[in-house]
Amino acid sequence: MGRYYTGDIEGKFMFGVQGSDAGERFGAVESNVISYSVSRRCYDDIVKELKSIEKSGCLERAEAIMREGYEPKSHFAQTPERRDLEDYADYRMGMKIKQWFDDNPKEDYLSFEAEC
């Protein structure tokens, strides 16, 4: 069970943690069918956001949380642990977006659709 995103990049949203709008953090623009596109012009901002996430220390904390087994009290409760997991999940998506642009230097736009 879970929600997926497909298109130029593909993956599964982290269950109970990551919102369908995670791509907006990296410049994706939502349409009325939750189709996203990211412009290559956002590349520097994508790299900057990824570095910000890396510097926050949340990746290491999230990996430790997952090793210990995370049981959310509520899908809506905002705790430091949940925020670290959200950032971790978003980081994975942001890395896919960056890698796609790195692998497709002649493409100006990346597109994907997200299940809600």
Q: Quick one: average pLDDT of 25-32?
A: 75
Please tell me the distance from the alpha carbon of residue 52 to that of residue 47, in angstroms, as a whole number.
9
One-letter amino acid at 84 equals D
Question: What does residue 79 show for φ and ψ, rounded to 5 degrees?
Answer: -120, 160
C-alpha closest to that of 4 among 94, 109, 115: 115
Positive or negative torsion for Cα 38, 43, 45, 49: positive
Report the Cα 112 to chain-centroid distance in Å.
12
- Per-residue confidence (pLDDT) for residue 1, from 0 to 100: 54
- pLDDT tens digits along 32-76: 457 889 999 999 999 999 999 999 999 999 999 888 877 766 666
Mean pLDDT of all residues in the chain? 87
pTM for this one? 0.72
Q: What kind and span of H or E run contains 79?
A: none
- Per-residue confidence (pLDDT) for residue 18, from 0 to 100: 83
Query: 28 vs 56, which has greater pLDDT?
Result: 56
Q: What kind and span of H or E run contains 30?
A: strand 29-30
